[in-house]
Amino acid sequence: MHKFTAVAAVAAISTGAFADSVVIDGLGGPVNMESLPLSILGNAPHDFTDGDMATVHTSLHGSGIVTDGFITCVLLNTDAGLTFAAMIDDAFASNASQIGGSSSIFMATTAPSSAEWYVNDVADFDAAFDPQNITETVAASYEWSHDEGADAYAWTNLEAGDSVSYNWTLDSAPGLASTPFQFVTWNGESWEVLATGNWTDDDQFAFSFTVVPLPAALGLGMLGLGGVAALRRRMSSK
C-alpha cells in the first residue's frame, strides 16, 4: 500500500543550465554523484514502470551492486531528462529476499516545480495543476512485502542549480540491510557505491543535493530542459 500527498512551498527558481551530476550533503561531507544514460521513463508521463525499474536494477547488478534490501539512490540521464531515483528494495534479483511480512517507511521530498515526478503504480496517482507555487513537496508512506515488493520514486527534468531534499522515517523494515541507504555513482566504466547512510537513533535519515552545471563547452549543442508547472497530488494504491 502506498499513500502519497503533496503540498507547495517557496524556493528559488532553477537556472535552466545543463547538468549531469549532483553534489550530495548529509553524508558526512559533500560527495559528487555522476550519471549514466539509460533509456527509461519514455512512456506515459509520471509512469516509472516495472520494466523501467527492472532496467535500472539490471544495470546496477551488472556492476555487482546488490540492491535487494537497500534503498539505492542513483543518478541517470533518461528520456525524461536528468533523473535522481530512489529504488526501494528489489524484486527483480534472482536471489530477491524471501523474508515474509511487510515493511513500512515514510519519505518526504521537496524539489523545484520545474522538476517532474515519476512513480511506480502511477495509475493510482492523481495530479492537479497549480500555477502559483514554485516548489512541490511529496509525502509518501511505503508498505511492501519483501518476498515480492519493490518500488521507485524519481525526480526528473532536473536542471543546474536545482536543490532537492529528502527526509526518511523508519516505521518497520525487517528486510532492509543494517545500513540500508546506498548512493551509487557512474565512474565512467561501471557503477560503484559512493557513500552509505543509516538511520539515526530516532529512526530518521535526511540528505539533500544540488545539481551541478556542466562546463560551458560541454553544454553547446545540447537541448535545454523545459520547465513544468507545480503539481498538487494525492495517491493511494495497493
Mean per-residue pLDDT for 118-136?
Answer: 68
Would the pLDDT of 177 be above 80? Answer: yes
Q: What is the pLDDT of residue 187?
A: 94
Mean per-residue pLDDT for 111-122?
Answer: 87
Query: Distance (Å, rounded) from C-alpha 118 to C-alpha 228?
Result: 14
**If you ran DSSP here, which 8-state letter would residue 157 be given?**
S
Decide if 79 contacts 47 (C-beta within 8 A): no
Q: How confident is the model at residue 77 (pLDDT cuts 50, 70, 90)?
A: very high
Using a 10 angstrom Cβ sphere, with 0-12 exposed, 13-18 middle and 19 or more buried, the burial of residue 54 is middle
Q: What is the pLDDT of residue 227?
A: 31
Closest CA to 177 of 197, 201, 147: 197
